[in-house]
Every structure is written in C-alpha cells, then in structure tokens.
Homo-oligomer: A and B are copies of this chain.
Amino acid sequence: MTIQTAISALGASFAERLSTAEAIRAHHGEDGSYYSAILPDAVLFPESAEEVAEIVKICAAEGCPLIPWGVGSSLEGHTLPFHGGVTLDMSRMDRVLEVVEEDLLAVVQPGVTREALNTELRHTGLFFPVDPGANATLGGMAATRASGTNAVRYGTMRENVLAAQAVLADGRIIRVGSRARKTSAGYDLKNLLVGSEGTLGIFTELTVKLYGVPEAITAATCAFDGVEGAVDAVIQAIQLGIPVARIEFLDEVSIRGVNNYSKLGLPEKPHLFLEFHGTEAGAAEQAEMFGEIAAENGGGDFAWTATAEERAKLWKARHDIYFAGISLQPGAKPMSTDVCVPISRLAEALLTAQADIAESHLLGNLVGHVGDGNFHAGLLLRPDHPEDLEEAKRLAGKWNRLAVSLGGTITGEHGVGRGKRAYMADEHGDGYLVMAELKRALDPKNILNPGKVVEIN
C-alpha cells in the first residue's frame, strides 16, 4: 500500500501518459494561492471516464491520493498534493460533445475551458455565462462551485450545471441530474458533487446551461463619493428587480490600480462597473432606472461604453485586477481572499475591511460582485517578507469570522481547499461534522483530493 506501488501499476497501464518528470510535476505543484509549491509524485493524463475509473481503482487499492486538476487557477490550495499522490490532469478530455440549441444546453468533457466553450458556441447565438475571471476548465469550475461577475444575473455553477457524470472513490461511474430543467427525483447528488472540490468524485462529463446572446448589451462605469452610496445603489437596484447582468464594486485603491495598469483614466473614487442585458428597449430602461438610483445615492460621472471593444476593455481591466494590484507595488504578489455577506451588511463589511487594511502594514484593494454580496480583497505580499503573509492570513481570518457573524459565508466563490478549512466549523458548526460523515461514507479510504474541504484522517 504505497504511492510508489500505485505509480508503478499506473505506469504499466498508461505508459507515457503517466509522467514523473520534474518539469511536469512542478507545473502541477502550483496554484493561484499563497502556498508554496508542492509537487505531486506523478501526473497522469486520462482520456475517458473508463480510464479515470481504472485509475481510481488502482489508487484505491494502494491508498494513493488522486488530485483532479484543470488549469491550476484555484486560490485556496485546492490542487496541491499535501499528502502526495498522483495529479489527474484533465486537459485531454477537452471535447464539446454536444450542443442542443433547443434545450439551451451543452455537454462537455471536464477539460473544456469556458473560453473554448464560448468559441465553439460563437455561431449559435448562445453563450455560457459563468466567468470567474481565469480561463478555468468547466470541471474545475464545477468542482469549486465557481461564479464571477455575472452570477447576479445568470447564477453560479450550482445553477448552471444541469447534469454530470462522475467517477466515485470506488471506481463506480455514475450520472447525476438530467437534461430536465427541474427534478424532485431523490437526493440532489448533482449539487452534492458540485462544489465538493474533487473530494467526493471526479467529474468526467458536464451538462451545462446556455443562454441566448442578448439583443442589446450596455456597460458603464459610475463613480460614488463613498462606499455606502455605491452599496445603497446596489441594494435598491436589486430590490427593484432590475436584472443587472454585472454590478461590480471597485474601491479607490482598485481604481488607482486599474488606472495604472489598464489606463482607464477614472476618478480615484469608489466605482460600480455595470452591464445591462436585454432587448434594446429593455436594456435602455434598466440603464435609465439605474441612473436614477445612482443619482439618489451620490453616484455620477457615468461613462457609457459605446462599442463592444470599449466594453471588452472595461471587463478586461476588471479581470486584470490581479496585475493592477501588482502595479501598485511592483514585485509583490497578491493574496486573494473572498467572503460573501447578506447585501444589507455589505457596506459594513467593506468599510471594516478597508479600515483593517488601513491599520495593517499591507497595501490592499477591495473589489466585489456586490449584487451577490460577494467581495474580494487583494493583499500585496512582498517576497522575502514572511510577516506580510502572516498579516494577510490574520486579516483573511478576521474577515471570515466577520462574514459569519453577519449571516454570510467564508467564501462566496473561491472554495475551501486547504486555506479556508480552519474556518469551516465557525460557519457550519455541527454541519461541518456532517460533511466529514459524508466524506467518510463516500470515500472511506480518503483517496480523492485528501485534506481539502474536510480532513478525515
């Protein structure tokens, strides 16, 4: 029962698709988190669900950890092999298997990235909306229950994965969910797997929802004098049921960064970045209604995008917030952390986080998918300054507890991985023990991405 025995057995079956080369292992030993690199013992590139099942059976027999891997963009150590083992790189399972336009769905292999899917869809008039920023794989996005800027309108991976095929810890291949838009047929295994971070099963196929490309899309930036005004405008827009497609908050420091890095030339004040989708008349009405709400809350300086290119530039600037942060402190690496609170408590949470950053020795910025009450802090860590990481972890921990105390959650979209595990009991109480009981029931040998979400050893 050793990892090396498993690797020998896997090598016999998979030959050159099993790699123990240093460079390959190193590539799979890093993610977007603050953890130092940890190299897996081997990397394996499966090509089918049946192969994944065979791999799982071999690893189960030898007690060898298996870590599913998409592009390595996760932020809390989800894909790092803390217990060693074999990383399962899903990049060869990258086919769009079917697009059913009438049913607004696509069937994909888990290694398909969201950009690749949208490229495949470009002649259909349909698109896949979920957009966490990184060009992640759909398998990885399903595993972390990802969302992003337009979840406020289109939902998260929870709402947008209709069905899946997955390999369980004993090698069984199961199908969960269906192509029907709703079901009451028993326990919601689909949503048990979505967000389980590869700890209960390995996705080998996903059926996802698609949407018609809106007839009209308009986007704008809007400046506010303070955080409260921006958040109050968001609350009123949501209460009025304006179906905003994106409503993003950027604080002053973020604006400084995007001005620096993406040359947006915006006033250095808190901003909302907005997008409206609809018919021509509908999108215009939404924009007008939001304009009135913004004016009542001290918002102004609306800058409307006139072309698709300008709109793309705006959202690229928002997605490049990581690099915008670095531009404020060259050489530093941002640590990104996220929480999500009820929208009525969002201003309080943002102001507390801003004050915490101001009191700390770190430079940091706040951005948020504020229609959902979800925000991120980017804290800039200097290399060779271990005190920066310690302080960043202290702040992240404080905000996790703050979010729970406000009725929210320790992570809106990044997931638990290893990094948030210490705060799970704060949020879930005995429910966290129930998660461990489920993990024990479905993966008693603890071979699927062990040590993530829950530790059962």
Give A contacts to B, CB under 8 Å.
100-105, 144-147, 151, 156, 158-159, 168, 172-176, 178-189, 191-192, 194-196, 200, 211-212, 214, 235, 238-241, 243, 279, 281-282, 285, 289, 340-344, 372-374, 403-404, 407-416, 420, 424, 427-432, 434-435, 437-442, 453-454
Contacts and interface: CB of A to CB of B under 8 A. Distances in A.
A74 B454 CA distance: 36
Nearest 3 CB-CB pairs, A to B?
Answer: A441-B441, A102-B344, A179-B407
Contacts of A411: 183-185
B340 A181 contact: yes
Given A179-B342, A239-B212, A281-B281, A184 B146 contact: yes
Contacts of A214: 241
Contacts of A191: 158, 188, 191-192
A301 B43 CA distance: 64
B172 A343 contact: no
A176 to B, nearest CB: 6
A34 B343 CA distance: 45
A246 to B, nearest CB: 15
Contacts of A410: 185
A224 B271 CA distance: 50
Given A241-B214, A342-B179, A342-B180, A185 B438 contact: no
- How many identical subunits does the complex contain? 2
A435 B187 contact: yes
B101 A178 contact: no
25 contacts: A100-B342, A103-B343, A146-B184, A174-B431, A176-B431, A178-B404, A178-B409, A180-B408, A180-B409, A182-B409, A183-B409, A183-B412, A184-B195, A184-B413, A184-B416, A185-B409, A185-B420, A185-B428, A186-B416, A186-B428, A186-B435, A188-B191, A188-B195, A189-B435, A438-B442
Contact of A183 (B180, B181, B285, B340): B340
B184 A415 contact: yes
A103 B344 contact: yes
A151 B182 contact: yes
A275 to B, nearest CB: 15
A133 to B, nearest CB: 14
A180 B281 contact: no
Contacts of A156: 182
Contacts of A104: 238-239
Contacts of A439: 187
A187 B427 contact: no
Nearest to A339: B180
Best-buried of A168, A373, A411, A428 by chain B (most CB within 10 Å) = A428
B185 A427 contact: yes
B341 A180 contact: yes
A153 to B, nearest CB: 11
B145 A184 contact: yes
A412 B285 CA distance: 35
A440 B438 contact: no
A147 to B, nearest CB: 6
Contacts of A102: 235, 239, 343-344
A430 B343 CA distance: 41
A200 B103 CA distance: 33
B180 A187 contact: no
